[in-house]
Structure 1
Amino acid sequence: MLRLLTLFFGLFYLTLQPAQAAVILIYHHVADDTPRVTSVTADEFRSHLQYLKDHNFNVIGLDVLINQLKTNQPIADNSVVITFDDSYENNFTTARPILQQFGYPYTLFISPGSIDKQDGPLLSWQQVKQMSDEGVLIANHAMWHEHMAAPEAGETTQAWQARMQQSILQAEEKIKQHTGQSHKWLAYPYGEYSLALEQLVSELGFIGIGQHSGAVGNSTSLTHIPRFPAAGQYADLTQLSQKFRSLAFTITNEQQTDSLIQKTNPPTLGLTLKVDDFQPSQLQCYASGQVLTPNWITKNSFSVQASKPLAKGRSRYNCTAPSLSKKGYYYWYSQPWLRLD
């Protein structure tokens, strides 16, 4: 009898298919004399790459992943993508030689206007061109690294839309002029976006990429692709290595949620998922130190809401659940919020 039960459960778990997923990492500075919150040291960065190599992770270019998402192709198991934001010179002087040692592809999201002004210790166009010639993917981080999610005080919606369109398209043209590359990928500065900005990005034919945590799968929205921060408090490999092993929930119905909090606070997140490789009772959600209890509306749909209003600025709801078929792997979904008032 015991043998039959063992066989039954063995066959049951073989039928479970974990969602195919990739993890995108976001870095800013690779230095030891820059703000810790956005920095990793050279030794920490090297240790991250060494861990990926030692544990046989599949480090791929962002172009490969986005093509898989757009064409609904399978995503290779344990795929990881490396990205950098903000155009910092230490990406060239410090990160680049380390990445060359490992032979890993990576993407730089740059703000051309900031490079033109040399507003800080930023890359020069000569360095950007050299990296591009070496095969580095160069992509759009808006023209001036501006806050993009909502109109400024006194600005009309129409004027804001025109300004955002100009920032996106002007940055893309500048990148094309200097490197010959034009991928139409926009990494939102500060990771801030709104439903209106997502719609504009989509209308312009761009892919939108955030800074909220979570794995990337075939049901990930192409206007708010998540990335895991890997700097500051998140640089510790004890925690980061778990994020390498994240899976994407298969979302069958993602309510059109505006990340910009305008009326209801705390906001509500609602999702309909394919529930087969995790137990609904093991789904855990969190928000700014709060543990949130998911409200299962049907066997596949749940909603979650914080118990108190979210503070001004950026915050998020994170929801995770352990995989039944892949020991040590967790499904991970994050919904960012932005309160400006």
Structure 2
Amino acid sequence: MDLKKLIGGRQFWSLIAVLLILFGVLLIVGHPKEEASPAPLPPPEDDVKVLVLNYHMVNSMFISLAIEPGDFDWQMKYLVDHGYHSISPDELYDFLAGKGTLPDRPVLITFDDGYEDNYTNAYPILKKYNLKATIFVVTGFLSKRKGYLTWDQLREMEQNGITIESHTVTHAPLPELSDDRIREELVESKRQAEAELGHPIEFIAYPTGVHDLHIVGIAQEAGYKGGFTVKYGNVDRSSNVYAMERVPVFRTAATNVDFVDRLRYTSNITQFGWTRN
């Protein structure tokens, strides 16, 4: 049957037009326009991520733990130029406990062991950029071993934004020690530093970052209110205050490029989860 001949040419094309209009209406009704997604809410204060940098030496020794003074200067300038604000362990602790606030882009700059170059090389650069820092010292080495800080140097630095905390007495790996030796390392280093510096020592950096729940319990008994590991990551309110994360900084073939890479969390250490507790 030829529908066009049956109803006439003009009526046929009118019918087609009406059908097309009806089909378009059905499409619109059957597929309503999706509403635009609402703008994301600003992150709550609890989402603040705190960068804790972990250095050791600042000198020209060609080893991974030694950052060239020129590179350290470049890195500190980078932090300042990109809006980072240095904080102390107490400021970090108060934030985690819900008792304080932090500046934009907070960074806690830490050094382990207590090498003399922290005073001769790093300290002038930190003062140059008006940055706070924290040194976790091995108390049994201070004022005794060549290449390590003296208590007089530490007292001077504490007058200019540097915080001193504990890294045990001898840097012995704590899990390998008896309970009595663990207590001696934690309690005696705290006692020595408090006697020399005249203020409470309340934070511990575990030697090589190694710790367990038993060691944490002894640290709590000794009077520490927080501890730092070498587990790679940022600190936030979900962190264990006795096992806080840090971002280690090493000498590499491209030290400053790798430094920026670590700040941005594109390092393979993060991508593949190569972390050490």
TM-score (norm 2): 0.78
SS at match of 2:148: coil
The 3 A distance-change label for structure 1 pair 51 and 112 is same
Higher helix content, 1 or 2:
2
- Partner of residue 121, structure 2: 94
The 3 A distance-change label for structure 1 pair 15 and 86 is closer
2:150 is the counterpart of 1:124: yes
Higher strand content, 1 or 2:
1
2:165 is the counterpart of 1:139: yes
2:47 is the counterpart of 1:28: no
Q: Which runs of 5+ in 2 are unaligned?
A: 1-27
2:268 is the counterpart of 1:227: no
Which amino acid counterpart does residue 235 of structure 2 have in structure 1?
A: V
Which amino acid counterpart does residue 182 of structure 2 have in structure 1?
A: M
Deviation digits for residues 52-93 of structure 1 (CA, Å, limit 9, x no counterpart): 111111222222112211336454442111011111000000
Determine which of 158, 169, 172 is the counterpart of 2:187. 169
- Partner of residue 20, structure 2: none
SS at match of 1:24: strand
Deviation digits for residues 90-124 of structure 1 (CA, Å, limit 9, x no counterpart): 00001111110000011111111111531x41111
Aligned counterparts of 1:194 and 1:53: Cα–Cα separation in 2: 36
2:174 is the counterpart of 1:148: yes
Compute the displacement of 1:190 (Å).
Answer: 1.3
Aligned counterparts of 1:15 and 1:79: Cα–Cα separation in 2: 18
2:223 is the counterpart of 1:195: no
Which amino acid counterpart does residue 56 of structure 2 have in structure 1?
A: H
Aligned counterparts of 2:154 and 2:232: Cα–Cα separation in 1: 27
Q: How many residues align?
A: 240
The 3 A distance-change label for structure 1 pair 227 and 234 is farther
- Partner of residue 87, structure 2: 60
- Partner of residue 179, structure 1: 197
The 3 A distance-change label for structure 1 pair 43 and 213 is same
SS at match of 1:123: coil
Are the counterparts in 2 of residues 87 and 115 from structure 1 also a CA contact under 8 Å?
yes
Aligned counterparts of 1:235 and 1:111: Cα–Cα separation in 2: 30
- Partner of residue 42, structure 1: 69
Which amino acid counterpart does residue 220 of structure 2 have in structure 1?
A: S
Aligned counterparts of 2:244 and 2:133: Cα–Cα separation in 1: 16
Are the counterparts in 2 of residues 234 and 240 from structure 1 also a CA contact under 8 Å?
no
Give the greater-gyration-radius structure (CA). 2
The 3 A distance-change label for structure 1 pair 40 and 177 is same
The 3 A distance-change label for structure 1 pair 77 and 161 is same
The 3 A distance-change label for structure 1 pair 76 and 242 is farther
- Partner of residue 155, structure 1: none
Which amino acid counterpart does residue 133 of structure 1 have in structure 2?
A: Q
Give the alignment of 1:264-283 within 5 angstroms.
Answer: none
Aligned counterparts of 1:74 and 1:245: Cα–Cα separation in 2: 23
Which amino acid counterpart does residue 131 of structure 2 have in structure 1?
A: Y
Compute the displacement of 1:242 (Å).
Answer: 3.9
Are the counterparts in 2 of residues 110 and 139 from structure 1 also a CA contact under 8 Å?
yes
Aligned counterparts of 1:15 and 1:80: Cα–Cα separation in 2: 21
Compute the displacement of 1:12 (Å).
Answer: 4.1
Are the counterparts in 2 of residues 37 and 233 from structure 1 also a CA contact under 8 Å?
yes
Q: Which runs of 5+ in 1 are unaligned?
A: 152-159, 247-283, 287-316, 319-333
- Partner of residue 231, structure 2: 212
Aligned counterparts of 2:221 and 2:251: Cα–Cα separation in 1: 35
- Deviating more after overlay: 81-90 vs 50-59: 50-59
Compute the displacement of 1:16 (Å).
Answer: 5.7
2:142 is the counterpart of 1:115: yes
SS at match of 1:117: coil
